[in-house]
Amino acid sequence: MGVPWYGYDYTCLHLLEPGRCELETFHFRKPTCNFRASRWIPYKAIMRHLPKSISGRYWDNDHKAPYYIYMVLVFDVGGTDWKHYDWSKVTTIAAFGAYNPELLCHAHANDVRVVLKGDVPIKDIIDPANRTAWIIDQVNLAKRQFLDGINLDLEEAVEFKSQGYYALTQLVNETTQIFHREIPGSQVTFDVAWKPGCVDGRCYDYASIAHSCDFIFVMSYDMQSQIWGDCIAKANAPYNQTVAGYYAYLKLGIPSSKIVMGVPWYGYNYPCIYLFEAGKCVIQSIPFRGAPCSDLAGPQVPYKWIMQQLPKSISGRFWDDDQEAPYFIYKVNGTYHEVWYDDPQSISMKASLIKKLNLRGIGMWNGNLLDYDDPSEAMQTKAMWQALYPF
């Protein structure tokens, strides 16, 4: 009797429920579907992946076999911080920094995909020939650098049903088809705003985009990019808004298996024009894409800076029960600053939605924003990685 010491890693077009993962159609010797919709992985890789899973080990009574579901996407912007990542959790690195063959080799040794950043002005891909040429260039680049796919990150404002609206949808569809054909087993993903519609003027065909690619990465942060009410400092990623965003995507008919949650490892440092009380910091009114006020009033600050600044604050850590987020106040040169951010408590609350909604997984912007050098910050850094797995 021969038995396998390997398995198959299937990319689900639709994950209806655990054990019902619909696959891309690959014809092989007449049947319309087969194992070519997957990549072969050895048992040692399976044992490394299982602890990263969002599901844990399932057992199928009909097939008498175990299986699991997983995805943790880390955006890396360069440097050497990747050497300190918790590789027991990572499944994909989106390389937004300079090409680093050392990072690539380390990732592949840990059975982790590395995908390149795809960014192009939408005006440049309206013409079909230009669009195809750009895609071919990206495929060839991925082949030369032995990469495993592409993460499309455009974030450009597009009017509903404009030329750009349709061109963007075609870009995602054609990129997926060409990458899958030229690099079997490759991964094509697309970054979307925290909710569908026209957030920040991004009036995309989200349902069609999600259908075309392997999954969408929901950027559940920068939710104060357009402030329509009182111009005051607020949380980067309020819990209720986060939840509403995912339900809105699901309402479009996008399968939960095609949705990866994005969380922030950074916050905003708002200088207060007036500080009436904690949580009521009036900020400068800076318009953004039609909104009279925005988070442009405060610079983004990495979590490692936040952890260094918090002990120096005049307030200590506050918790906002309405937004389910931490913040603190400090004063410099006579000006009060209110810093809103996410920490293990707020992130784990959001991450718990993954299992509840059967989402594909989680990721963060970005992996370089923690302190990997200071031993005194080691526990805080570890806690941020652990917050991705609250279940």
Report if residue 1 sits inside a domain: no
**Is 10 within the bounds of a domain?**
yes
Residue keyed to tokens 């200088």: 271
185 and 106 within one domain: yes
pLDDT per residue as tens digits for the range 87-111? 988 999 999 999 999 999 999 999 8
| Residue tagged active-site, from 22, 24, 155, 377 | 155
Asked about 155 being catalytic, the answer comes back as yes
What count of other Cβ atoms lies within 10 Å of the Cβ of residue 129? 7
Q: What is the pLDDT of residues 245-279, one digit of tens each?
A: 999 999 999 999 899 999 999 999 999 999 999 88
Domain check: are 318 and 369 in the same one? no
Tell me, yes or no, whether 193 lies in a domain.
yes
Distance from C-alpha of 51 to C-alpha of 42, rounded to nearest angstrom: 15
- Asked if 260 and 279 sit in the same domain, the reply is no
Q: Which domain holds residue 41?
A: 6-67
320 and 358 inside one domain: no
Are 52 and 122 contained in the same domain?
no
- Are 244 and 327 contained in the same domain? no
Beta partners for 363? 73, 262
Return the CATH number at 381.
Answer: 3.20.20.80
Residues 34 and 51 occupy one common structural domain? yes
Same domain membership, residue 110 and residue 22: no
Are residues 354 and 229 part of one domain? yes
Q: What pTM did the predictor assign? A: 0.86
Confidence of residue 337 (pLDDT cuts 50, 70, 90): very high
Number of folded domains in the chain?
3
Report yes or no on 248 lying in a domain: yes
Which one, of 23, 16, 78, 87, lies nearest residue 49 by Cα? 87
Per-residue pLDDT tens for 310-335? 999 999 999 999 999 999 999 999 99
Do both 109 and 171 map to the same domain?
A: yes
Tell whether 317 and 352 lie within a shared domain: no
- Tell me which residue of 122, 162, 154, 157 sits closest to 288, measured CA to CA: 157
